Chains A and B, each alone.
Chain A
Amino acid sequence: MPTTQKVAEYNLWADSFHEGEWACRNIAREIENQGGSFQVQYDQGFIPAFSFKIDNLEIRVHVYGNYGSWSPKPKALEDLLAWGKPDLVLINDSNDEILIAVEETAATPTGNQALQRCERQFGSAIEGFPFWYLISEFGLHSDGGVRRDSVWPSLMGLEIMTSLEIPSIVLHYSDLENPEDYESGKGMKSLFRIMMGVLINSTNGAEPMSGLERELQSQIDEMTKFIDLTATNSLYFLPESESSKKEDLTKKLCATGDLRSSHRKDRENYLIWPLARELNALQQGEQSSRELKKHDPFARELENSIDKGQSYGIIRGSGSKPQKEDQMKTWISQQNSLQITWEKGVDSKYEEAFRLHLKDFPKSPTGYHVITAPRILYLFDDFRSVINCLSRSFPDLNYKSLLNIDSPSLVYISNSVKPGRIFGDPYTGQIAAYATSFGALSKGRKVLAYFPHQSVAQALNNFDNPSNKGLRIMKELTDYLVFGGGITLDMKTGEVL
């Protein structure tokens, strides 16, 4: 006796039709591997309409390419797009719920590029949407060499999954012999097996990850292997994790049922980063203060804190790209103007607390250096030590109210001078990646970001502006922003200290 056929409709939204159709054809390949079949036609002459048949299911997927060309869009999609446009978003047509968001890159991003998409990864997680990121592990560089992907998306993904119990998977394709080749490596096929599985489960009315435990476990295993292999390219060391954590993580993700998990009560970390006083002799041996590139009182205190054993630097290297004189003059003028306007409406204690002068920036043959501290991140054992550094650096301001906070902490520095730049690429991606990876989601560390060359006025003027992605990320992940002159903004209240 024939079984009743179940039919369900889905919409695959995509940054471009090419990517949407490419994804559907790869899902079709997996469906055929499982004994199913597929057909495709083009509605209105151009909208791909796929029909996948497997067992007693008919799964229909329409592709809508180029987000801006369509209306109306589901509310959940609008919310997600506010964090940036993922390449693919699979949505159940019957209830407009997002099943999966996917980001994919054709090339291996290097340097700051690698961090740019971290804000989308974070945005998806914080909105409660499962996220898969398909990225080339090995990429060709213009110098002819081969580059490997950065550790940050994977590290961040593991921490998101552990803290928020929502999938944030990074999959790699390509290999050393075949850089940027989608068909090499495990990632691409694994992604489309998951997409197929989620479609089948949804059509059957089953839990999204039902029966996909092995695939998911394998994906998490690959992430941890990749982190183990590559972490020390970016970091001084990687703490060991308990081997049982991966299995526990998979179980939690699969048991959640609703992938849009709101279970955020057990905020844990996947990796436990040690305190400075817990570093072993080898790790301590790599920690000592360095010269500043440009004088800055707080940056000096941060470096000194390493010698005092209060903090350590975890990220290797920090380059300095000189900025052109005409640009610097414009930016400095804009920063000072913003600050002066702001000062007119506030307490006189802030008067002239922050002014930029071109002569303070070290000059090189190609422009002016803006780097202050020689590193971008400090992990402190105690928030009070950070506040003491601030108090010594800016003695005219009062930070006493922060001295009762008892927590390990993280200090991030961006030396950018251009107004508004700190709320965009790559800085918001950096904050998302670093704060998440070092425990901000689990509330394991207080996060303070320092912008020595930016006026506090920019943050205050935009504090409630929902389209400012940078501030939205900072509100989620940072506790305090310290601007030029040590003027500090409480990110929970929006008040200047």
Chain B
Amino acid sequence: MRKNWSERVGFFFLILSGMLVIFILGVILFDIISKGSGSISWEFLSRPPQQGMTEGGIFPAILGTFLVSVITVLFAVPFGMFAAIYLHEYAQPGKMTRLIRLAIRNLSGVPSIVYGLFGVVLFVQMMRFGTSVLSAGLTLGLLTLPWTITACEEALKTVPKSYREGALALGATKWYTIRTNVLPYAIPGMMTGMILGLARAAGETAPILFTGAAFFLPHLPKSLFDQFMALPYHLYIMATQHHAIEKVRPLAYGTALVLLGLVLLLNISAIFVRYRFRRRMKR
């Protein structure tokens, strides 16, 4: 009987910890949604901040996050895709391949603020892009690159070997095989990775602090070389830097809800794409 006693107590704690994790997520979502939904309105989403950011909306921040994300994807997806194609289709096992994989794994562990430092030196100063949409987008592109590579490689792994062998046996060249018999089936999986990378980039703050995000701008960015407002940075300001913090708390909650909603929506759509893709592959 003593044995079962230890099992019961032990398992009780395991159940408790599982519940605790769900509880933590529940508290986070409940707090943000319940206190943020009051601020959400069409005005809030479509208008710029007014009266020293104590009133009005967050439209410039939404637009800024969107613009930067576009640059991020335009940079990270092609490079990530090509690197993944090399690693999965061409690379022979050896020192070089091991080194590339080691570099990718380590890149994904580099702190985001360090990417920020790198972006300041490389894009803002050396390439003279200034603090701009372009600098911030490229910095975030570098940050998401290792994730994109890994996701694209996972997608390539799901394409059965027989697809490749069939084309090669018919005399197609390697590139022709990849282009016609591998990539079309891997694209949806790559899309999933792209969306997940986008979600990550949209929520990042540290890398854009010094590469282009602005406290407040009276006008929208007109070119890639302008500064911009961004959702996560706007939330940071509303939560810590504003002169009337208590007064703007509802606006901060509203911003947090929009940001969280955006990121979760991207995550869910990635899961959806993956699900449909899996069903199609099974058929």
The finding on whether chains A and B are genuine partners in a shared complex, rather than unrelated, reads no
